[in-house]
Structure 1
Amino acid sequence: MNATARSLAKLAVLAAGLVAGGFLLRALGAAPGTDWVDAYVRDDGLRGEVVFILAAALATGVGVPRQSVAFLGGYAFGTVAGTGLALLAQLLGCGLGFLWARAVGRAWAERRLNGRFGPRLRPLVETLRHNPFSSALALRLLPVGNNLALNLLAGLSGIALWPFLAASALGYLPQTIIFALLGKGVRVDGTWQMVLAAGLLAVSVGLGLWLLRRQRAGV
């Protein structure tokens, strides 16, 4: 199994686990989602939204899967609001990791790129430096690699923050919608949300693969 297939399988397992967990909690008489979300976020108006954004931004900034944040956003706020709030939190976490890496890790990165890890890291760094927007967009659309690792590597590479954030926002959006739909679907038992989420995942992966092929072909 190649890296893309493994990553797709990993994403599918994550989605299935979140949905199964939500249905199990409901079957046991508990509300789907964490106690923390129920206690401090849901039905708490603007304060709940602010708490969610700050907590989710910190969580994604230190490596919590962004899909989990989107799932909880959909559960807590519904598909539309949950997608928007989760996306904002993901971008804040992305910027946090990027800026932290740029502030404290540039010298370390240069040593690694010129040392034993260079052959593995340098191609991706050069790809980001050559075309930061389209490269980041393609990588975000595909469930390949690690969100935190890409944030840190982008910060270490010396590329500009804003193109990277813009590409990340567009690339995050399909999976954020998908997992917000799953979160909302678990909460209200909406079969159509599950079906729509599966279709959006297929479109997202197809678009990401198409962008990567165009880049490799030099189009």
Structure 2
Amino acid sequence: MSTKPAGLAKILLMVAGLALGGLLLRALGAAPGTEWVDLYIRDQGLLGETLFLLAGALATAVGVPRQAVAFLAGYAFGAVVGVGVALAAQLLGCALAFFWAGAVGRGWAERRLAGRFGPHLRPVVETLRENPFGAALALRLFPVGNNLALNLLAGMSAIPAWPFLAASALGYLPQTMVFALLGKGVRVDGIWQLALSGVLLAVSVGLGLWLMRRHRAGRALGN
């Protein structure tokens, strides 16, 4: 019980930091990466959306944080279209990394799991194999963690693609909305977007914690 107040305090601190960061970026009038968006993406219609989709997918596939893709999509297209374009780019990048790892790196993963990295990676692999959808969803809802590492590990672990990708799409959605709203709030006078993004982040973290605890409780009862 003693960990609950500490966990809640961390979530509130994260929300406050997110809101303050958004206000600072809006006050400065610029944010990293917005220059090329202004030059090549904004006000270009379908061409701009297609270019952003391809660039965002490739960036996500090689390890650029998916939150940055969502932020720039919100900056370029607004909250609604930005969420759709960013989510499509993130999911395409996830699939690229997942299938590449399954085709190229599965033997590498098995050797590492049997070697010195085994104690760290094996529990994650076992959890994904037991419940690909539920485990991936819980992990995606956390605002921290390595998106690329999870994509590669899942691909190398021979889990079914569709549950993992479906859970990723659903788990990506809250933070994609958060950072797309932040991106729009930076471009326009959007205090309410910044406030809503903080609330959505808190909901995402809380749901991720609940799912993870439920999954662990289910495993304990099963044992």
Do both share a fold (TM > 0.5)?
Answer: yes
2:42 is aligned to: 42
Which residue does the alignment assign to 2:94?
A: 94
Whole-Å Cα distance in 2 between the matches of residues 11 and 65 of structure 1? 18
> 1:189 deviation in Å?
1.4
Matches within 5 A, 1:126-205: 126-205=126-205
Q: Percent identity?
A: 71
1:193, distance to aligned residue in structure 2 (A) = 0.6
Mark the CA change 1:136 to 1:84 in structure 2 (over 3 Å): closer, same or farther: same
SS in structure 2 at match of 1:218: helix
Q: Please, which runs of 5 or more residues in structure 1 have no aligned partner?
A: none
Task: Tell me the TM-score normalised to structure 2 length.
Answer: 0.88
Kindly state the Cα deviation for residue 50 of structure 1 after the two structures are TM-superposed: 0.2
Q: Once the two structures are superposed, what CA deviation does each residue of 1:48-98 show, in whole Å capped at 9, x if it has no partner?
A: 000000000000111111111101111100100000000000000101110
C-alpha distance in structure 1 between counterparts of 2:19 and 2:58, whole Å? 22
Q: Contact (CA 8 Å) 1:59, 1:93: kept in 2 or not?
A: yes
Gaps of 5+ in 2: none
CA RMSD of aligned residues (A): 2.3
Look up the match of 2:212: 212
Q: CA deviation at 1:23?
A: 3.1
Q: In structure 1, what is the Cα distance between the partners aligned to 2:39 and 2:19?
A: 24
User: What are the within-5 Å matches in structure 2 for residues 119-130 of structure 1?
Assistant: 119-130=119-130
Number of residue equivalences = 212
Shift of 1:137: 0.1
Match of residue 83 from structure 1: 83
Q: Cα offset for 1:35?
A: 1.6
Work out the CA distance in 1 between the residues paired with 2:89 and 2:15: 20
Task: Name the CA shift for 1:32/1:131 in 2 (closer, same or farther; >3 Å).
Answer: closer
Q: Which residue of 2 aligns with 1:23?
A: 27
Query: Hey, what's the Cα distance between the residues in 2 that align with 1:31 and 1:117?
Result: 38
For 1:171 and 1:185, locate their aligned partners in 2 and report how far apart those are by CA, in whole Å: 23
Matches within 5 A, 1:103-114: 103-114=103-114
Question: What is the CA distance between 1:31 and its match in structure 2?
Answer: 8.5
TM-score, length of structure 1 as denominator length:
0.89
State the shift of 1:16 in Å: 5.2
